[in-house]
């Protein structure tokens, strides 16, 4: 019997390393979180599209025809992610006869853990299973990224969508964003008595949109001046010396050294080395984001410093920056002490107390029932 309803899941993600590399054709290394979006979907035959999210106030009631013809300003911002996915299915020739979507997420919104990709990917998977079973994962990544870029107006690379769709339990996803080649890299924290903490500082990422766009422009300018298609093509940080502008030199150095850090960590973990050995590389990544790329923020630096002082093997901001979350790699029996130290350090400076999660590499998007 053909399936006309069900529930789908797509996770949030945390990027272990590889920040601001995805729009430079570089490498990233995310894992799926045990937090995610549950999308309850029901096909309809009448062209109607009805959406609601437990985390958003207004319901949206429209039609597939309206999506093809209407100006999108009438739709609340949050709904442009799922509506964008529906519209992209149709635009690519995968007819959506109508759908009801009921959304409910456990991913904190705007914390750098990709609640937006959890939203768009859960919907995309539901649409695939209900209406277009032959669509490939690559096309789903392209559809969900287009939903974010074009319909929601957020110029992301493919990191978030790839992580939500392709991650597997117990693994990091090594992704080459130039070729879309992927590799599942084992990340067994349990075996080494380690924990990965995610500390959501709860600070709004006020500057993120404008600054993100500026960083993209700066990276493109640096690549052009170095005579390469993208910064991915520069293997040695010393080559930034050819850039006359010191600001572009710093921006380029972050991307080049960050790509090297992803490769180094992937290499260590592939060999099943003790993940404690990657700690200093994580911390170096934070310093590079703070000093060269200048996308950190005082609460993030405070949290990283406090985690390291309390014995974390490595800590860094994760996500685009200017707020959001920090990750810390800690001995399992130190997890409580490190969380407490970070909370004390943040509140002592007048920042809100963080929300702390202990995360394990979890499953990517899938059908629940
Ligand atoms: P992040 O993806 O890091 O959490 P973004 O700013 O990229 O932050 O995406 C957050 C946006 O995604 C929200 O402002 C909202 O528009 C949408 N969103 C995410 N989760 C939900 C949800 N549960 N319900 C409705 N909209 C959501
Ligand atoms: Mg997002």
Residues annotated as catalytic are 160
Closest CA to 17 of 285, 359, 242: 285
**Ligand 1-lining residues (CB < 6 angstroms):** 53, 55-56, 77-78, 81, 103, 105, 109-116, 119, 154, 319
34 burial level (CB within 10 Å; 0-12, 13-18, 19+) = middle
pLDDT in tens, 125-149: 999 999 999 999 999 999 999 999 9
**Greatest CA separation found in the chain?**
65
The residue whose CA is least distant from atom 11 of ligand 1 is: 116
State the pLDDT at residue 50.
Answer: 98
The residue whose CA is least distant from atom 22 of ligand 1 is: 55
Q: Which ligand is nearest to the CA of 320?
A: 1
Asked: is 188-359 a CATH 3.30.70.890 domain? The reply is yes
The residue whose CA is least distant from atom 16 of ligand 1 is: 78
Cα distances from 308 to residues 219, 239, 305, 334, in angstroms, run: 30, 31, 5, 11
Q: Cα–Cα distance between 227 and 225 in angstroms, integer?
A: 5
Least confident piece of the model among 152-161, 181-190, 213-222, 239-248: 152-161
Distance from the alpha carbon of residue 148 to the mean position of ligand 1, in angstroms:
10
State pTM to two decimals.
0.95
Average pLDDT over residues 106-121: 95
Q: Which ligand is nearest to the CA of 112?
A: 1
Provide CATH code, domain 5-184.
Answer: 3.30.230.10
pLDDT in tens, 20-66: 999 999 999 999 999 999 999 999 999 999 999 999 998 999 999 99
- Is residue 209's pLDDT more than 80? no
Distance from the alpha carbon of residue 221 to the mean position of ligand 2, in angstroms:
25
How is residue 87 annotated by DSSP?
H
The residue whose CA is least distant from atom 26 of ligand 1 is: 78
Q: Cα–Cα distance between 21 and 258 in angstroms, integer?
A: 7
The residue whose CA is least distant from atom 15 of ligand 1 is: 78
Which mutation among 56, 78, 101 tests ligand 1's pocket best, with the greatest number of atoms within 8 A of CB? 78
State the pLDDT at residue 207.
Answer: 62
Atom nearest to 109 CA in ligand 1: 4
Confirm whether the ipTM is greater than 0.90.
Answer: yes
Residues around the ion ligand 2 (C-beta < 5 A):
114, 116
Distance from the alpha carbon of residue 35 to the mean position of ligand 2, in angstroms:
14
The domain limits of the chain are: 5-184, 188-359
The residue whose CA is least distant from atom 12 of ligand 1 is: 116
Distance from the alpha carbon of residue 195 to the mean position of ligand 2, in angstroms:
24
Close Cβ partners of 9 (under 8 Å, ≥ 6 residues apart): 36, 37, 38, 39, 122, 363, 365, 366, 367, 368
Task: Round the average pLDDT of the chain to a whole number and report it.
Answer: 96
Distance from the alpha carbon of residue 236 to the mean position of ligand 2, in angstroms:
30
Atom nearest to 53 CA in ligand 1: 24
């Amino acid at each position: 019997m053909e399936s006309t309803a069900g529930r789908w899941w797509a996770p949030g993600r945390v990027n272990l390393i590889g920040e601001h590399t995805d729009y430079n054709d570089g490498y990233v290394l995310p894992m799926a979180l045990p937090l995610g979006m549950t999308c309850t979907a029901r096909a309809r035959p009448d062209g109607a599209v009805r959406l609601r999210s437990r985390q958003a106030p207004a319901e949206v009631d429209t039609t597939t025809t309206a999506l093809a013809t209407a100006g999108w300003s009438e739709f609340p911002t949050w709904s442009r992610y799922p509506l964008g996915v529906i519209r992209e299915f149709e635009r690519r020739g995968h007819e959506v006869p109508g759908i009801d979507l009921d959304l409910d997420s456990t991913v904190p919104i705007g914390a750098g853990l990709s609640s937006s990709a959890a939203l768009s990917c859960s919907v995309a998977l539901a649409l695939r299973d209900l209406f277009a079973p032959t669509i490939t994962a690559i096309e789903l990544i392209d559809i969900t990224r287009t939903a974010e870029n074009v319909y929601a107006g957020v110029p992301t690379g493919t990191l978030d969508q790839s992580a939500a769709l392709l991650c597997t339990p117990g693994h990091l996803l090594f992704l080459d964003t130039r070729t879309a080649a992927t590799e599942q890299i084992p990340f067994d924290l349990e075996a080494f008595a380690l924990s990965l903490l995610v500390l959501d500082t709860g600070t709004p990422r006020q500057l993120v949109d404008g600054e993100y766009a500026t960083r993209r422009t700066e990276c493109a300018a640096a690549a052009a001046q170095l005579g390469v298609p993208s910064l991915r093509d520069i293997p040695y940080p010393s080559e930034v010396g050819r850039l006359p502008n010191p600001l572009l030199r710093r921006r380029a150095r972050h991307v080049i050294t960050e790509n090297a850090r992803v490769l180094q960590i992937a290499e260590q973990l592939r060999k099943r080395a003790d993940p404690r050995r990657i700690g200093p590389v994580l911390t170096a990544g934070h310093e590079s984001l703070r000093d060269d790329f200048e996308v950190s923020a005082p609460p993030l630096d405070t949290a990283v410093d406090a985690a390291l002082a309390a014995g974390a093997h490595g800590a860094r901001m994760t996500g685009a920056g200017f707020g959001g979350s920090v990750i810390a790699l800690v001995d399992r029996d130190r997890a409580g002490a490190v969380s407490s130290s970070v909370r004390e350090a943040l509140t002592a400076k007048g920042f809100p107390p963080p929300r702390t999660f202990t995360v394990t590499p979890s499953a990517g998007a899938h059908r629940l029932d």
